[in-house]
Chain A
Amino acid sequence: MDYSIFGLLKNALTGNRLWAPVWRDPAPKQRYDTLIVGGGGHGLATAYYLAKEHGITDVAVLEKGYIGSGNVGRNTTIIRSNYLLPANTHFYEKSLQLWEGLEQDLNYNAMVSQRGVLNLFHSDAQRDAYARRGNAMRLAGVDADLLDAVTVRAMVPGIEMQDARFPVKGGLLQQRGGTVRHDAVAWGYARAADRRGADILQNTEVTGIRVEAGRVLGVETTRGFIGARRIGLAAAGHSSRVAAMAGLRLPIESHVLQAFVSEAVKPLLDTVVTFGAGHFYVSQSDKGGLVFGGDIDGYNSYAQRGSLPVVEEVMECAVTLFPAFSRLRYLRQWGGVMDMSMDGSPIIDRTPVEGLFLNCGWCYGGFKATPASGWCFAHTIATGQPHPLNAAFRLDRFATGAVLDEKGAGARPNLH
């Protein structure tokens, strides 16, 4: 059934007994045309766009736990397209445009909230680097504004502007950026993909990839072998492990990224703000909690938890930027495993194994990419060719040197 206010009303009058499962729970078939490994945002979006854009519906999404159990359900929900390098700007702008129409497209309210993303700067050099990025966005047709300190102060009242170790000099604002309710993205895509015929198979862990004569034949899973002509890998933090099942070694390291949420308070912050003098960013969820995070912990790990030094650093940044946050309490901290690529940009590409496609390298910024990633990955799988939007996200770019290093940090995944 379509969701609407009328549906809510009707169900309210009938004791809410008529609601159906948001997605089916089918038994796995022996064979599908296309398998997607990983029921995170990207995998589910891929299944949806395979059906919607390419009419491919003989698809199963294989998820080892419950859908959304990975990073799509543990990120800090920020979306934006404020990138410097053309390949990234265009891709993330496509994503932002898909976000803008997502709810109507999926008939699911993921609470896309374009409340603005403000990157603060604290020095002339930082201002110029942001200006370079903002101008690149403008050339790409993306909204960007460079704010001075006075405007920042008016826009975000709680920021300490002056009495600071690194006073705020201004900020780069993307007004169309914002936040999205993360779980709802997984559920919305799952429901929409399911409605178009894709099977969502939870508790189905891929344990092997069967390759013969350089071609994929299917996957071994905890629920038996499932055959397929094409397989798309979208396992995010576990990409290296899954790809290794097909004999591939990826230019990816797995790192932990932590995040935090505070007790719910009445609205006090209407914008996403990132600190330019430390690793910290924050927004306030619709429920009232401040959602914030910082940098990755910096060591390789598959554990979904981090260490105390990063917790301390994030809190230091929080009270330095917003001195009134000091007495608010945080109530939960968690971590996710990030697929950090060697240049900080993603990979959506074919692989040397025929029929095997790869989607990974999202670092800590892949949530905002979800719609475009699914859209481009579906295109790549369906046509066997990358779309111009993901043509630069090649697996072999580290060999050619055509890297997409937004920050100029080099092949140091713990610095991206």
Chain B
Amino acid sequence: MSAQRWRLGEGGLIDRSRVLPFRFDERLLHGHPGDTLASALLANGVRLVGRSFKYHRPRGILSAGPEEPNALVELRGGARREPNTRATQVELFEGLEARSQNRWPSLGFDLGAVNGVLAPMIGAGFYYKTFMWPAAFWEKLYEPLIRRAAGLGRAPQAADPDRYERAHAHCDVLVIGAGPAGLMAALAAGRAGARVLLVEEDAALGGRLLSEAEEVDGRPGAEWAGAVEAELADMPRLRILRRTSAFALLDGGVVAAVERVADHLPEPPAHLPRQRSWKIVARRIVLAAGAIERPVVFGGNDRPGVMLAGAVRSYLNRHAVLPGRRAVVFTVGDDGWRSVADLLRGGAQIDAVVDARAEVPPEQAQLAARHGLRLVAGGRVTGTQGGRHLTAVRFADAAGREEGVGADLLAVSGGWNPSLHLACHLGNRPRWDAAIHAFVPGELPPGLVVAGAAAGRFSTHAALADGAATGLAAAQACGFDAAAPEIPRAEDAPRDAVPLFHVPGGRGKAFVDLQHDVTDADIALAHREGFRAAEHAKRYTTLGMATDQGKTAGVNGLAILARLAGQAISEVGTTTHRPPWTPVAIGAVAGPHRGRHFRPARHTPLHDWAAANGASFVEAGLWYRAQWYARPGEAGWRDSVDREVLAVRNAVGVCDVSTLGKIEVAGPGAAALLDLVYANTISTLAVGRLRYGLMLREDGFVMDDGTVARLAEDRFFVTTTTANAGAVLQHLEYCHQVLRPALDVSLLSVTDAWAQLSVAGPRARDLLAAVLDPGPDLSNAALPHMAWIAVRLGGVPCRLYRLSFSGELAYELGVPADYAEAAMRRIMERGASFGVTPYGTEALGVLRIEKGHPAGGELNGQTTARDLGLGRLVSTRKDCIGRRLAERPALTDPARPVLVGLKPADGRTPIRAGSHLLEPGVAAVTANGLGHVTSACFSPTLGMPIALALLSDGTARLGQRIRVFDPLRGGDLEAEICPPVFVDPQGERSRG
């Protein structure tokens, strides 16, 4: 049933016993476990897999790894669609669906290909030179056209249904890459007893050994790797993470990695995340990430059928697929000859081997002779032919004589670039190694060593030896030791090559960056126009900016620039290697912190009680707070809020204010510290008393307010606003640890330890007398306004603070958090006869606006104590944080806006916070602005809308009219300016 016509009859690391059906562009195809999507496509003879970004040229599979620039597909469908997925890294699974992208109407016939004809006009940076007239056309016409043409695949449109996890790991030695170097490093470090983490991007360990027909220790490389893997798996302190890309090296020896836990499955099983992102903290890192083969830039080098020579071997040896039947091999040195041998073994016909070296070593010449291959020494490929895939290759010999041969595969070997990316993430620059014509790691970041091909040591023997040495050294650096492992026998052949990056003057476009369609002509144009710095050329042409980040393009681009400039590559410089090494799903890094779990949710001890009693909740920082308690028959939130406010004004209300920040400040230096951070004096506060406290920032503006209760001579209980609870504690710690380290003080957040209930209203005292255990004297004399006493409720020790935010007779009852709900129930039970009413944050807000208390809208970080009418609180008798800078001229300018109250002139029209204030009748322009509305509400007490505002010359304007202008929401009314305290200005009720 399976028509895998390009599958070899035997060999490969695939499981032929199982056949996996899959679809590409709706076509049903078959492959085997062990295939990648790319190898399965090739096995089925599918060569054309995508269209290029700009010219929509037909493209095939270039590589067999993460460097793939062409074979990008939309994988899966619906909410799981993954655009731009490299077919070379997708493990085949049953029922896989993939689609080609960036083509219309179809992959075979793509109208976008007309761009190829326009190429001379739309070369590098053409868009900077046109589309300028008329200006308005950019957004309407040009840009939409460009945007539609650009982009690759289509993003999914629905929420990602899969889960993601985050994990942390600590180890002595992190080995990145499980090729021969990485395996040996892990073995050496593991045997020494170090805690080792081995991460490998591939599903299987072995690296190039899986792709090469070579032996290690007298057996096939893959088998040797399997044996090592078995030994590693038995080491209790060693962990292997496969399908895991280490994608970033960060400061402090931190490596970020992503593990593709379930991407090789049709869907993640219920118990597994799709991906897991790892934060790895390692004492030593061995980077053994291998190397990436380099293509050569020549005319027509992008046709499907042009493939990296090493990828040809991967498909032959690992996947048992013949990537072509009539092949030409183009190599700059020894390495391509391995593909010659393997292709011959796989049964391909080789029409020519074009070797850029003038002199080809005898064994290779003999190999050619033995098989009757045409050997073109000193040759160059100059062009290719074919429509949707390669049909012929043209090449020139050393004398420049050109000829062509038919071919469906052109294997290209331009040398290897070490994968040194992570070694450069901390800003280290690579160094050009003239012996191997490649960049190798330069100065290394602390704690990191590079081994094997990643360090430019390419033979298998060198990789094994390097791995053993670096792995052991890394373990030793962490205090472990063992004998060095024996180095297994392996090939140690020389890698002779000539530097050849580019064949100028060939036929057709010669692509440097295949994915972004950047040609040698584009680089020449950039050079001509002065974009000669490597970074300029990159940015002007977009070379290396595609999803592959120039893994196959970068060095060739630099080489072409260097030639144009008449410089050595080392002089041109490099562009910067930035994380991630390979593109990483945004969701993987986000992990589980998304949607409702984006941030933790904080619930007060009374949350469940409130929910059971009809509360609506509102987010307040991380908290959810009861906003109001709806009752049956109420038409809307205003009904509930008005009722709650009136209950407080006329009877008694109870509000959960547990979210206020609560801090205990204790120690002999506590009073001195509080005198420093509060603008008013705290040290004179008597034990058993409370004081309103105002805190300034260093720059003199108001930071926060709250109350301070003196619990004992050396112990204070401080509250902050809900919003600033964290910031104030941080500030106190800073002041203590940095500014006054000599003070003997300790600071403790007790926000979660205490539930705090505000009990407010004329019947508050009666209610408390009914609720608290008998005993305490609550009379004005015994417990006056701004004092506190210890009380018990049901035997539980509580604290009763007498203070008022609403202006009513009011208390805050501090109850240990665990008893909060019981206390609330008792309050509701015993308070029923007093009309006790729970109220939420909306009513709380109305009450404080009616009372003219500054809160969020006024404490906005831009106001001074004087602006808020609190100037007299700033003590002139002592120093405090912010006092000096509060005296700067602009902060004491009498023209600054001050806090006033507003009432609509018609007594009806609501005022909205955020409105601006203007003199009636003047033009609505900035210069005439006098201030703004900071808070507004409907006051059920006054029966009309009211507001607080900051108004220039506010005090002088009391009684006058002002225009309240809110063009954004269509508001425009006149209001009367009044003092900011609307209720009980003498403050008699709270003292009653």
A residues near B (Cβ < 8 Å) are 3-5, 7-9, 11-13, 15-17, 19-23, 25, 65-66, 68-69, 73, 86, 89-90, 100-101, 103-104, 107-115, 122-123, 125, 127-132, 134-136, 138-141, 144-146, 158, 160, 163-166, 178, 181, 183-184, 187-188, 202, 262-268, 277-278, 284, 286-288, 303-305, 307-308, 311-312, 315-320, 323-334, 342, 397, 399-403, 405, 407-411
Identity of the chain A residue whose Cβ is nearest the Cβ of B923 in the assembled complex: A139
Q: Are A266 and B153 in contact (CB under 8 A)?
A: yes
Task: List B contacts of A25 (CB < 8 A).
Answer: 530
> Contacting A316 at CB < 8 Å: which of B147, B598, B968?
B598
Task: List A contacts of B889 (CB < 8 A).
Answer: 400-402
Contact with A along B90-107 (1 / 0, CB 8 A): 000000000000000000
> Is residue B991 contacting chain A, with contact meaning CB distance below 8 A?
no
> Contacting B529 at CB < 8 Å: which of A21, A122, A403?
A21
Contacts beyond the supplied A12-B120, A160-B159: 9 A-B pairs with Cβ under 8 Å: A132-B913, A132-B932, A305-B427, A315-B589, A315-B590, A316-B594, A324-B79, A327-B81, A328-B83
Q: Are A411 and B699 in contact (CB under 8 A)?
A: yes
Q: Are A5 and B130 in contact (CB under 8 A)?
A: yes
Q: Which of B200-208, B814-822, B855-863 contacts A (4 or more CB under 8 A)?
A: B855-863
Closest-CB distance, B915 to chain A (whole angstroms): 7
Q: Once the chains are docked, how many angstroms separate the CA of A405 from the CA of B126? A: 42
Task: List B contacts of A8 (CB < 8 A).
Answer: 121, 126, 129-130
Task: List B contacts of A86 (CB < 8 A).
Answer: 926, 929
Identity of the chain B residue whose Cβ is nearest the Cβ of A106 in the assembled complex: B132
> Contacting A122 at CB < 8 Å: which of B256, B525, B619?
B619
Q: Are A132 and B916 in contact (CB under 8 A)?
A: yes
Q: Are B138 and A411 in contact (CB under 8 A)?
A: no
Q: Are A103 and B135 in contact (CB under 8 A)?
A: yes
Closest-CB distance, A199 to chain B (whole angstroms): 14
Q: Which of B11-19, B366-374, B408-416, B532-540 contacts A (4 or more CB under 8 A)?
A: B532-540
Closest-CB distance, B43 to chain A (whole angstroms): 27
Task: List A contacts of B580 (CB < 8 A).
Answer: 330-333
> Is residue B584 contacting chain A, with contact meaning CB distance below 8 A?
yes
> Contacting B160 at CB < 8 Å: which of A122, A326, A408, A410?
A326
Q: Once the chains are docked, how many angstroms separate the CA of A324 from the CA of B587? A: 9
Q: Once the chains are docked, how many angstroms separate the CA of A163 from the CA of B542? A: 39
Contact residues, B74-98 vs A (CB, 8 A): 79-84
Q: Are B969 and A131 in contact (CB under 8 A)?
A: yes
Task: List B contacts of A278 (CB < 8 A).
Answer: 598-599
> Contacting A265 at CB < 8 Å: which of B135, B152, B579, B968?
B152
Q: Are A401 and B700 in contact (CB under 8 A)?
A: yes
Q: Once the chains are docked, how many angstroms separate the CA of A104 from the CA of B134? A: 9
Task: List A contacts of B529 (CB < 8 A).
Answer: 19-22
Contact with A along B143-161 (1 / 0, CB 8 A): 1101110111111111110
Task: List A contacts of B703 (CB < 8 A).
Answer: 410
> Is residue B224 contacting chain A, with contact meaning CB distance below 8 A?
no
Q: Are B525 and A141 in contact (CB under 8 A)?
A: no
19 contacts between A and B (CB under 8 A): A16-B123, A19-B528, A20-B529, A89-B926, A122-B619, A127-B914, A129-B860, A138-B968, A139-B928, A140-B925, A165-B597, A183-B540, A187-B540, A265-B154, A305-B427, A319-B594, A326-B590, A327-B586, A329-B585
Report which residue of A65, A123, A130, A315 has the largest number of chain B beta carbons within 10 angstroms of its beta carbon: A315
Q: Are B598 and A320 in contact (CB under 8 A)?
A: yes
Task: List B contacts of A146 (CB < 8 A).
Answer: 968-969
Q: Once the chains are docked, how many angstroms separate the CA of A106 from the CA of B521? A: 26
> Is residue B985 contacting chain A, with contact meaning CB distance below 8 A?
no
Q: Are A311 and B589 in contact (CB under 8 A)?
A: yes
Task: List B contacts of A409 (CB < 8 A).
Answer: 861
> Is residue B796 contacting chain A, with contact meaning CB distance below 8 A?
no
Task: List B contacts of A264 (CB < 8 A).
Answer: 53, 84, 150-152, 546-547
Q: Are A329 and B578 in contact (CB under 8 A)?
A: no
Task: List A contacts of B5 (CB < 8 A).
Answer: none
Q: Once the chains are docked, how many angstroms separate the CA of A136 from the CA of B591? A: 39
Identity of the chain B residue whose Cβ is nearest the Cβ of A107 in the assembled complex: B132
Q: Once the chains are docked, how many angstroms separate the CA of A205 from the CA of B547? A: 34
10 nearest A-B residue pairs (beta carbon):
A408-B861, A131-B914, A326-B587, A401-B888, A288-B151, A21-B530, A323-B159, A401-B890, A326-B160, A329-B583
Closest-CB distance, A238 to chain B (whole angstroms): 16
Q: Are A324 and B861 in contact (CB under 8 A)?
A: no
Identity of the chain A residue whose Cβ is nearest the Cβ of B547 in the assembled complex: A263
> Contacting B147 at CB < 8 Å: which of A114, A267, A402?
A267
Known: A113-B143, A328-B83, A333-B580. A16 touches B926 (CB 8 A): no
Q: Once the chains are docked, how many angstroms separate the CA of A404 from the CA of B714? A: 40
Identity of the chain A residue whose Cβ is nearest the Cβ of B79 in the assembled complex: A324
Q: Are A139 and B698 in contact (CB under 8 A)?
A: no
Q: Once the chains are docked, how many angstroms separate the CA of A264 from the CA of B928? A: 48
Task: List A contacts of B162 (CB < 8 A).
Answer: 326
Closest-CB distance, B42 to chain A (whole angstroms): 24
Closest-CB distance, B56 to chain A (whole angstroms): 14
Q: Once the chains are docked, how many angstroms separate the CA of A17 from the CA of B701? A: 63
Q: Are A329 and B128 in contact (CB under 8 A)?
A: no
Q: Once the chains are docked, how many angstroms separate the CA of A402 from the CA of B700? A: 12
Q: Are A325 and B699 in contact (CB under 8 A)?
A: no
Known: A16-B525, A405-B862. A318 touches B132 (CB 8 A): no
Task: List B contacts of A328 (CB < 8 A).
Answer: 83, 155, 585-586
> Contacting A9 at CB < 8 Å: which of B121, B138, B914?
B121
Task: List A contacts of B160 (CB < 8 A).
Answer: 319, 323-324, 326-327
Q: Once the chains are docked, how many angstroms separate the CA of A305 from the CA of B129? A: 33
> Is residue B127 contacting chain A, with contact meaning CB distance below 8 A?
yes
Q: Are A267 and B250 in contact (CB under 8 A)?
A: no
Task: List A contacts of B358 (CB < 8 A).
Answer: none
Task: List B contacts of A334 (CB < 8 A).
Answer: 576, 578
Closest-CB distance, B621 to chain A (whole angstroms): 10
Q: Once the chains are docked, how many angstroms separate the CA of A409 from the CA of B698? A: 11
Q: Once the chains are docked, how many angstroms separate the CA of A258 from the CA of B586? A: 15
Identity of the chain A residue whose Cβ is nearest the Cβ of B864 in the assembled complex: A401
Q: Are A403 and B585 in contact (CB under 8 A)?
A: no
> Is residue B531 contacting chain A, with contact meaning CB distance below 8 A?
yes
Q: Once the chains are docked, how many angstroms separate the CA of A404 from the CA of B81? A: 47
